[in-house]
Structure 1
Amino acid sequence: MPNTILFHRTGLARPQVGAEAAAALLKEHYGLEGHIKELGSQQDRNFRVDTALGRFVLKICRQDYSMAELDAQNAAMRHLAQQPDAPSAPQPVAALNGEEILTVTLGEESYHARLLTYIDGEPLSRRRYLAPDSVRAVGAFCARIALALADFSHPGLERDLQWDLRRAGPVTLHLLASVGEQKRRDDVAKAMIVTMRHINPLIENLRLQPVHHDLTGDNIMGVSDAAGRLVPDAVIDFGDLVNGWLVGDLAVTCAALLHQADGDVFAVLPAIRAFHDLYPLTDAEVRALWPLVVARAAVLVASGEQQLSIDPDNDYVAGNLEHEREIFTLATSIPFSVMEAAIMTALGKDLPDEQPVLGRLLPGIDPLTVNLTDLSTLSPDLIEDDWADAQIDWKLLAKAAADTGVAATRYGECRLSYTRLLSPRMPATFALHVDACLPAGTEAVVPFDCVLKRTSQHFILMAPDLALHIHGLECQLEDGTELQSGAPLGKIAGAEGSVGGLRLQLCRDQDLVPPLFARPDHAHAWRRICLSPSALFGIDLDAPSVRNDRLLASRKRHFASPQKHYYQQPPQIERGYREHLFDMAGRAYLDMVNNVATVGHGHPRLAHAAWRQWSRLNTNSRFHYGAVAEFSERLADLAPEGLDTVFLVNSGSEAVDLAIRLAWAATGKRNIVSLKEAYHGWTVASDAVSTSIADNPRALETRPAWVRPVTAPNSFRGTYRGDASASAYAAEVEKTLAEIDASGEGLAGFIAESLFGNAGGIVLPPGYLDAVYGMIRERGGLCIADEVQVGYGRLGHHFWAFEQQGVVPDIITLAKGMGNGQPLGAVITSKAIADALEQEGYFFSSSGGSPVSSVIGMTVLDIMRDEQLQTNARDVGDFLREKLEDLAAVHPLVGAVHGMGLYLGLELVRDRETLEPATEETAAICERLLDLGVIMQPTGDHLNVLKIKPPLCLTYESASFFASMLDKVLSEGW
């Protein structure tokens, strides 16, 4: 018999009450006056009221909802206030007559009215994305509310409510007529039929208790944590309070979280785990959870469509409908069996692991003759960028079959060939099937008792709880044929003497047409459903498992801890190409920080040059060979006139160390003036002149006496601001020089990056180096330009960064990208300065200037010239800077865009007036960018600047992707 009250309530529009009537009601019954603003609601009228006594919420609903139901909601809010661990909630406010629930006549109708205290905070729904920590906090928050309500009772909890998931089936079917689009109506109907088939057998084992039943982003109020992420703090809107299924309460929350999951269904798992940790779910509840999520999504869509049809001016409903459709699409995008496996795994529950007994499918094939192809990130058969060839899997499979006539791919392998460049989502690379090449005509037999089912493109062997999908086999048997294990099945398709292709996939879920690939981060669930077909071949076809956690643990045990790694949970990067990096899961990342790889990763020309020279000779530079002389000459030709002598070393640190020694030797003095906020290296001397507290928190208090740090010419947040600050900063240098003069110790030199690299790509104020260099040289000191990070074509507009300051140094240090990853550094100076070092003896670097290093250095220069990478750095860098400036115009967190060419810095601040650094936000943004496929790291003394220094081959497309992903993070949250 239809539930007339329930169905009647689904058709109720909001009360016809405006702000003016609400103001009159407040004054008459509560003695309150103030500013009134209407809040959104599906079937009520809610008004925020700002009065001299505080802020309140006036709720007006139809009399179709009983006084007992409303009193239950008020009582629940009071109950929560008395629980020690329960979140805060609004509290009822009595009217002048002492009553908490009024019956009032407004116009021609009577309504119920209540006044509640107002809860401050930001609704979680305001953020388009919630990080895993926030999602986890939501799950724990919901559990705390459920636990607090577990011992609550009230007669008004037994009610007919369209949102009660126990009524989801009939409510949805009743509302389907309001869904205008035929396909959406069919999708909702089919989803509810499948959902009820899963839920009905579990109903008797689902626990009942009072539940809020609307713990969504609209009703959970959040506060920002240190990183600017929202975490739940309070709960509002008890309008759906009911005595219902406990797991249904969690399902409502999970459905809401899908709107903030960025397309990843598994993103809700941290919430489920956190709920379970506080309020453990039973096995029946775990199995019912995802069907109930789908049920909630179906009710949302159907109810929203129906409500809009009867209340077309309801902006709240209209605004929510599109994301409710999105929730439904996402909730139904994954089979119940897979999501159940994912939830069980997340909760640490044991899953059945019985492997089906399978016979050999191809008994005529000797398992020992099966060659396995390697299609992983580490595959030696994938050369340069041929992983991008759409046919590469079959080409390599055929190549592997050339020896024995039989080859197969590996189940569970993350194939690099399925990577996706510039993708914000992890691609599906994890193979849930096996492909094989073998002689056409090879006989196949039935591997287990089954029934054959034909489809348009392949056939399936069906057994209880098991289905084998087969492509590439000629089979004459009719649809529905019952087959016994060992019976003839067919033969590999193809002409006699040719090679045929076979694809096999095992699946436990007979209702599922399984995908061929899964996302690697979802594979733990999918491989429970799609089993390995190894037994069909009689050989282990499973790819070795990738255990990044074990590798990371080994690194931490044996790799000295001061040698840090990027990210808390770093991906295992094993391959690169141009500006892209690839991890073991086949995930591609855009590398926006690797200024070591000047010409890009995996450059074939560079690899060939290195291999060729290694195959001939590699030794030290005391031997005489052509490469060292030629490379030195080419470096000297790149420098300004007069700087014609080159030292070759292994790194930038060694180059800076040597430059300081040269200054000491040439001047006979020791004092070196350096800039604060600077980083120059890790050797004793280069570390001594490094003053960045981000790299060494004790940098300024541990400098040796010969290091004289001066105020950093940071024209954005320094002591003096703007382009006109050069003279003021130069005056600070002059004060330090006067102190050195007074000491009588003399001056050896001055060292500075020509553009403030480690501080965030900050361009020095115009004229600064010219003024400082003049003062240094007046005292007989030498000027050292540290170009390790910022020079060598990276600025685009200039080859050397000091050129944009219009100066010529006495000593240039360089390294980083000059070897594209090969240990290679250099010092360029005048012959007179270089000869001064000989007074202290010979200089020698075992690997500096070796044949291989020299050849690689020259090849890098050749590639830079031939591929016009400096020009690219200028053009793409200017393009990217404009994109970043556009972001600064719309996102208050962006304080400034620094830098030039492809050495840029995006400084993030909490306040553009005080310039309070957004340190925690910057770290969180970098983590979120990693999720979106971008490698990015913070820099600067406050670690609040994104350091943007990608390979110089960065394309416009890649630059646009980076800007787009950054915009996405700043817009949606991190």
Structure 2
Amino acid sequence: MMEEDSLKRRTELPRPDVSVDEAKRILLENYGLSGDLTELGSQQDRNYRADTANGRFVMKIARAEYDRVELEAQNAALRHVGAKANAPMVPKIIPALDGEEIVAAVVRDASYHFRLLTYIEGTPLTRRKHLSAETVSSLGDLAGRLAAALADFDHPGLDRQLQWDLRRAGPVALQLLSAMTNVDMRKRIAEAMVGAMRRVQPLMPELRLQAIHQDVTDDNVVSRVEKSGRLVPEGVIDFGDVLKGWLVADLAVTCASLLHHADGDPFHVLPAVKAFHSACPLTEAEIRALWPLIVARAGILVASSARQLEIEPDNAYVQGNAAHEREIFDVAVSVPFELMDHAIHQAIGREAAPAALPATGHLLPDVDPARVGIVDLSLLGPHLPADRWHHADTEALLLQSAARAAGAASTRYGEFRLTETRLLQARAPQTLALHVDLCLHGQTAIHAPFAGQLHERGGRLILSAQGLHLHLLGIQPAAGDGGSVGAGDRIGMIPGDPTALGFMRVQLSTAGEVDPPPFAAPHQAEAWRRLCPSPEPILGFDCEAPPPQAAALLDKRRRHFARQQKNYYRRPPQVERGWKEHLFDVEGRAYLDMVNNVTIVGHGHPRLSAAVGRQWSLLNTNSRFHYAAVAEFSERLAGLAPEGLDTVFLVNSGSEAIDLAIRLAWAYSGARNMLSLLEAYHGWTVASDAVSTSIADNPQALTTRPDWVHPVVSPNTYRGPYRGENSTGDYVGTVAEKLKELDEKGGGLAGFICETVYGNAGGIPLPPGYLEAVYAMVRARGGICIADEVQVGYGRLGHYFWGFEQQGVVPDVITVAKGIGNGHPLGAVITRREIADALEKEGYFFSSSGGSPVSSVVGLTVLDILHDEALQENARTVGDRLKDRLQALGQSFPIVGAVHGMGLYLGVEFVRDRETLEPATEETAAICDRLLDLGVIMQPTGDHLNVLKIKPPLCLSRESADFFADMLARVLGEGW
């Protein structure tokens, strides 16, 4: 009783009433230090940071109600941990002038204890809304190493009464809740605490006791910032809550603090659990107690803050924490205890085999299993046409159709349903089916597959026995009040006429108090599957979907697919389907595709699919045969080019197009020397690679060019040697100098190749008049001018169909690919007849699939879609809006150095300093990873890999553009 009274008094104490001036006096008189003091947050202590000529320190002030031996224990713990080799950084104790580590002083008739500690520099985690999985894991590791360091520490001052001691969570909660005025919140916390303590109580004798920090939270940990911008926790700054308590309580406190960084997802803490367990292994009892203690900690946090604000309404620290403490509680109670128990066991590799379920009979004994049609609603399912997967009635219509054909129909358990996918969502949708939906004739009888207790709850009929609970929705219960039923008893039927079709849902659960959701998010799927096993045994037919094998497939790729052929991301989603500007992985997650300039008219276009399918069914061969499509496509391409460029070569790719263009320059000029731009990328064939100088694509590019390639300074008006629109003369001058060198050496000039917009750098426009001046100098020497439009042409710029139109010039050769075939292997070279004829002396030219019937039909259909759907105009209007939004981000986030480009070829360049333009390379990679988490496909580009090259399908909607801008703003604001 005395302990409870002491604890009650402490929960009602305000912070020490010591002003800045009074603290300065204590600091000078007792430590001989003076300087500026800044108050730091605290709930019941008062802390000041002291900036002095001798360094930076923290003055900690405690009320006299806290016994001196408790403060001595904190100091002893700091010394103990500081001496451990593998422990986190902790502050050092600064003794007073008289050698004392604790100074007792009276301020305005009140007695206080003063201590001085060194200040550990670093960034608190609490300032970042988003914490990466790596940061969460590092925090768990730090907490585990600290717990291990304290395992052999003991001190009389550790036996203390604190409201934060989770051993006393029940009594503390009762005390705090009794004075809480918010009735609804009080009820929620009370229910959560009862559930948590009911699970912890039988485990208490097995929970280990030792010295614990009990406050390794985002507030009390400081971190270093990596180059990527991610935080790595390194030091613990406050030992004010150290005591002898449950070891697992240390981890519970850490995990609870992470929940307001979790975006509503309790699974966010699992990397911390895994890392803690690796550093300080937990027992089975501690693992089982962990989530209930996290819930208990969350409830105490909310109740304590509410109580403290009643005592001290102007406590800014408590006010600032109250909102995120409520968020911690909301996330903690958002899932069943049983689910998190499975998830935690899985995270640390301790998941036991599923419990044996009771023997069961059949739910539908009158239904012939052989006459049940199975409807496949997965990503690659044959039942989902391209334009029906997202319609609300698709599942019901497909079930009805299958039931009419077979007599009955069923969906599949454990299937990631494409029908549950949602576009433009920052969170992965709940797509894993934890149930089976059936379509059956009315009056079909439902029988109990096992004996048990029958009752209704929330519109569902539930049969419970031996840890198994059968949930049925949509059925008409049999007459009676429920209660005990035997195996095989009739418990209901499908309502309606026998000639009509009705629907029912079947779901199993091993948690009696939980009404399980119908679907689970992919990253929570395995834990939910343990809670909701397959109903296949009671249905009697195969209704379980095979799980995706993305990891095994990636391993197979790495074994047999040459590793130089990289894939996006370290842990790439398995993408198997697309629709317009969206991509879908096998778990039903939709991603906004902001990089795919290959699919210019969008993914899965039904018009293109139909045209290709028809042509494949008719003919596909090579262009040496005579057929209509190649003639029509060549004519259409020539009609898109400026007058005089009337001759077309059809090839397989952009690299082949560049290669051919260089051969044309050689053949027409009789010379070999080619001018190209530094930082450029043109392709992977021998010739196209030779004129590519991007070190991002080839780190050896600048030292391995053949002697016929002569790169000139890239006219990068943002970070080049000459900047701004008035730099034209300077950049043209660098080309003139190179040409003068070539003139002096002899050998002539074959040509000049460049992208007409600086695509590899993110769409930087060339300086005004640059191409006009350079083309003139090249042509004066007998060379030809090649415009590489592979990335930037074909309507992508919105304001222009070709990039060279922006410069007001006409090239001699245009190369185009990528979007021309919407992903089909197709490219083209468009030139004048006399240039094309110059190649004749080397023999005929041939490209296997270039100009084939299928390729030509693809090219024609893409052009029709571009025209009929006004995609160039869409690129202009949506692109202009998107650029405005991206430029606005630069007003708020200094990392945004510039926004380049136009239409739907844009680049956001990230820098660490807007004056020096130091590239934010690591940050850009981390930002792209974070965008993937939020449902956006984006990759870095440029020689410094610090540019987001934004080149989505031209069908990008205004809503999708806004979603991308919103997600990028969120990443820049919350962290990555």
Shorter chain as denominator, the TM-score bin is over 0.9
- Rounded to whole Å, the distance in 2 between the matches of 1:180 and 1:657 is 77
TM-score, normalised by the number of residues in structure 1: 0.99
Instruction: Point out 4+ residue stretches in structure 1 off by more than 6 angstroms.
Output: none
User: For the residues of structure 1 that align with 2:915 and 2:167, how far apart are their CA atoms?
Assistant: 54
Equivalence map 1:122-271=2 (5 Å)? 122-271=123-272
Equivalents in 2 of 1:206, 1:760: separation in Å? 57
* CA apart distance, 1:159: 0.3
Residues in 2 aligned to 1:255 and 1:720: alpha-carbon distance in whole angstroms: 53
Cα deviation, residue 682, structure 1 = 0.9
Q: Which amino acid counterpart does residue 15 of structure 2 have in structure 1? A: R
Report Cα offsets for 1:217-249 as digits up to 9, x if no partner. 110100012311001111011111110000000
Please state if 1:805 is matched with 2:807: yes
> 1:458 deviation in Å?
2.1
8 Å CA contact 2:669–2:782 kept in 1: the answer is: yes
User: Match for residue 559 of structure 2?
Assistant: 557
Whether contact under 8 Å (2:478, 2:493) holds in the other structure is no
Provide the residue aligned with 2:645 in structure 1.
643
> In the TM superposition, what whole-angstrom CA distance separates every residue of 1:33-86 from its partner, at most 9, and x where no partner exists?
101111111111111111111111111111111100011001111111111111
Query: Which of the numbers 629, 633, 636 marks the counterpart of 1:634?
Result: 636
Task: Map 1:800-839 onto structure 2 (within 5 A).
Answer: 800-839=802-841
Q: Residue 677 of structure 1: SS of its match in structure 2?
A: coil
Which residue identity lines up with residue 146 of structure 2 in the other structure?
I
Q: Name the SS for the 2:764 alignment partner.
A: coil
Correspondent of 1:500 among 499, 502, 525: 502
Question: What's the secondary structure of 1:889's corresponding residue?
Answer: coil
Aligned to 1:544: 546
Q: Does 856-865 or 177-186 show the bigger shift?
A: 177-186
Deviation at 1:480, TM superposition (A): 4.2
Shift of 1:472: 2.6
Q: Do 2:441 and 2:497's aligned partners in 1 also have CA atoms closer than 8 Å? A: no
Q: How far apart, in 2, do the equivalents of 1:967 and 1:251 lie? A: 32
Task: Show CA shifts across 1:748-793 (max 9, x none).
Answer: 0000000111122211111211111111111111000000000110
Say whether the 8 Å CA contact 1:591–1:936 is kept in structure 2.
yes
Match in the other structure for 2:316? 315
Conserved 8 A contact 2:642-2:810: yes
- C-alpha deviation, 1:627, in angstroms: 1.3
Which residue number corresponds to residue 849 of structure 1?
851
User: Residue 142 of structure 1: CA displacement?
Assistant: 0.4
Deviation at 1:453, TM superposition (A): 0.6
SS in 2 for 1:116: strand
Query: What is the one-letter code of the residue matched to 2:616?
Result: W
Q: Which moved more, 1:853-862 or 1:571-580?
A: 853-862
Decide which of 742, 746, 749 is 2:748's aligned counterpart: 746
The CA distance in 1 between the partners of 2:191 and 2:850, in whole Å, is 70
- Residue 701 of structure 1: aligned partner: 703
Q: Deviations over 1:546-599 (max 9, x none)?
A: 010001111111112111111111111111111001000000000000001111
CA-based RMSD of the aligned residues comes to 1.1
Q: SS of the residue aligned with 1:505?
A: strand
In structure 2, the residue matched to 1:526 is 528
C-alpha displacement at 1:500, in angstroms? 2.0
Q: Distance in 2 between matches of 1:302 and 1:72?
A: 27
1:263-412 alignment to 2 at 5 Å? Answer: 263-356=264-357, 357-412=359-414
Task: Choose 868-877 or 607-616, whichever is displaced more.
Answer: 607-616
Within 2, Cα distance between the matches of 1:457 and 1:186? 25
Residue 880 of structure 2 is matched in structure 1 by 878
Greater Cα offset, 471-480 or 830-839: 471-480
Amino acid at match of 2:391: D
Counterpart CA distance in 2 for 1:560 and 1:32 is: 65
Cα drift, residue 345 of structure 1: 0.8
Note the C-alpha offset of 1:322.
0.2
When structure 1 is superposed on structure 2, of 231-240 and 256-265 the one drifting more is 256-265
Match of residue 721 from structure 2: 719
Task: Please tell me whether residue 468 in structure 1 is matched to residue 470 in structure 2.
Answer: yes
The alpha-carbon deviation at position 380 of structure 1 amounts to 2.1
Count of matched residue positions in the alignment of Structure 1 and Structure 2: 974
Equivalent in 443, 450, 464 of residue 445 of structure 2: 443
In structure 1, the partner of 2:663 is 661
- 599, 604, 607: which is aligned to 2:606? 604
Paired with 1:342 and 1:375, the residues of 2 have a C-alpha distance of 27
Letter in 1 for 2:833: K
Tell me the equivalent position of 1:789. 791
What is the SS of the residue equivalent to 1:247? helix
Corresponding residue of 1:36:
37
Q: Tell me the distance in 2 between the aligned counterparts of 1:366 and 1:949.
A: 53
Q: More deviation in 334-343 or 93-102?
A: 93-102
Report Cα offsets for 1:458-493 as digits up to 9, x if no partner: 210011211100123222243442111122222222
Counterpart position of 2:930: 928
CA contact (8 A) 2:342 2:351 kept: no
**For residues 907-950 of structure 1, what are the alpha-carbon distances to aligned partners after superposition, in whole Å with 9 as ceiling and x for unaligned?**
11112222111111111111111010000001011111111000
TM-score (norm 2): 0.99
Contact 1:452–1:478 (8 Å) recurs in 2 = no
What do the CA deviations read for 1:269-289 (whole angstroms, capped 9, x no partner)? 111011111211111101100
The equivalent of 2:493 in structure 1 is 491
SS in 1 for 2:740: helix
The amino acid across from 2:830 in the alignment is: I
Q: Distance in 2 between matches of 1:166 and 1:569?
A: 41
Residue type of the alignment partner of 1:577: W
- Code of the aligned partner of 1:839: K
Whole-angstrom CA distance in 2 between matches of 1:598 and 1:34: 63
Unaligned runs of 5+ in 2: none
Deviation at 1:456, TM superposition (A): 4.6
Aligned to 2:10: 9
Give the Å deviation of 1:182.
2.2
Cα distance in 1 for partners of 2:53, 2:522 equals 57
Secondary structure of residue in 2 paired with 1:381: coil
How many angstroms apart in 2 are the aligned matches of 1:405 and 1:141? Answer: 60
Deviations along 1:593-613, one digit per CA (max 9) or x if unpaired, are 000111111111111111122
Which letter maps to 1:378? L
Aligned residue number for residue 25 of structure 2: 24
Letter in 2 for 1:658: L
Tell me, in whole angstroms, the C-alpha distance in 2 between the residues paired with 1:768 and 1:64: 78
How much does 1:108 deviate?
2.6
Query: Partner of 1:364: helix, strand, or coil?
Result: coil
| 2-structure distance, mates of 1:656, 1:22 | 74
Letter in 1 for 2:271: P
In structure 2, C-alpha distance between the alignment counterparts of 1:429 and 1:792, rounded to whole Å: 37
Show the counterpart of 1:683: 685
Q: Distance in 1 between matches of 2:169 and 2:888?
A: 47
The aligned residue for residue 943 of structure 2 is 941
Report if aligned partners of 2:795, 2:875 keep a CA contact under 8 Å in 1: yes
255-264 vs 742-751, which moves further: 255-264
What CA distance in whole angstroms lies between the structure 2 residues aligned with 1:172 and 1:967?
A: 40
Q: CA deviation at 1:688?
A: 0.8
1:103 aligns with 104
Please, which runs of 5 or more residues in structure 1 have no aligned partner? none
1:178–1:305: 8 Å Cα contact kept in structure 2? no
CA contact (8 A) 1:178 1:309 kept: no
Instruction: Indicate the residue corresponding to 1:763 in structure 2.
Output: 765
After superposition, residues 944-959 of structure 1 pair within 5 angstroms as 944-959=946-961
Q: CA deviation at 1:804?
A: 0.8
Q: Following the alignment from structure 1 to structure 2, what is the Cα–Cα distance between the partners of residues 853 and 938? A: 31
